[in-house]
Amino acid sequence: MSSVPSPLALVTGGEGELARAISKQLQSDGFEVLAPGRAELDVADAASVGAYFGGRDLARLELLVNNAGVRRDRSLVRMGEGEWDEVVAVNLRGAFLCSRAVMRGFFKRRAGHIINIGSYSALSGPVGQTNYAAAKAGMIGLTKSLALEGGKYGVRANCVLPGWLETKFTADIAPEISERVRSQHSLGEFNTPDAAAQFVCFLHTRMAAVSGQVFQLDSRMGRWI
């Protein structure tokens, strides 16, 4: 008796701690997972994206997690064009290129899900993060447009803001800034990569009627607009 092939998921920025947590959770839910690092898939480079996606059989792909990201924090007046361009290229252009690479297949199969890993910075606009906040805000707009374009084909798109995670991604931030951010959380504690990964997997496997939404996974309170 032949076994049914496992569904396939792809998580970009695969060397990061959140990507590893998402990959592990997906694997425990029965997925085969591709989690390329930057050396294998440079999401900001169209040729790299084309070679990676074009060189693989992705017929079983049902989930793309656009997780690759970088920060280059600096005040706007001291920010170089290269620092702006790199952050926007990896965070926003990368999500666009990878989403475009899978969308035709998703449309053809009339199924598929794109989850963009965003940031609370898109909502709060922190000092020193004009590049990062702008890129992550763009990801929210990208998510909503993808959800509308894909809906008639049964394709979903959602954006998850995992909250401040104590990982290598934030390890360079001064402790006093970290504690100030922690004080903005009504629960006084940060989220974890494992908890965020559990939500990402739950969103994909258990919330099939949800698309075009933004999920903030911490206890910071924003004003209604």
CB 22 within 8 A of CB 63: no
The H or E element that residue 11 is part of is strand 8-11
DSSP 13-35: STTSHHHHHHHHHHHHTT-EEE-
8-216 belongs to which CATH class? alpha beta
Work out the widest C-alpha separation in the chain, in whole angstroms. 65
Q: What is the pLDDT of residue 172?
A: 83
The H or E element that residue 133 is part of is helix 130-151
Query: What are the sequence ranges of the domains in the chain?
Result: 8-216
Closest by CA to 222, choosing from 133, 129, 123, 127, is 123
CB 217 within 8 A of CB 199: yes
- Kindly give, in sequence order, each residue whose CB lies less than 8 Å from that of residue 209, ignoring residues fewer than 6 positions away: none
Rg for the chain, CA atoms, rounded: 17
CB 36 within 8 A of CB 14: yes
Query: Is 132 annotated as catalytic?
Result: yes
Provide the mean pLDDT of the chain: 95
Two structure tokens written together for 39: 């050396």
Q: What is the pLDDT of residue 214?
A: 97
Q: What is the pLDDT of residue 173?
A: 84
Q: What digits encode the pLDDT tens for the residues 48-101?
A: 999 999 999 999 999 999 999 999 989 999 999 999 999 999 999 999 999 999
Exactly one of 52, 120, 132, 153 is catalytic; which is it?
132
Low-confidence ranges of the chain (pLDDT < 50): none
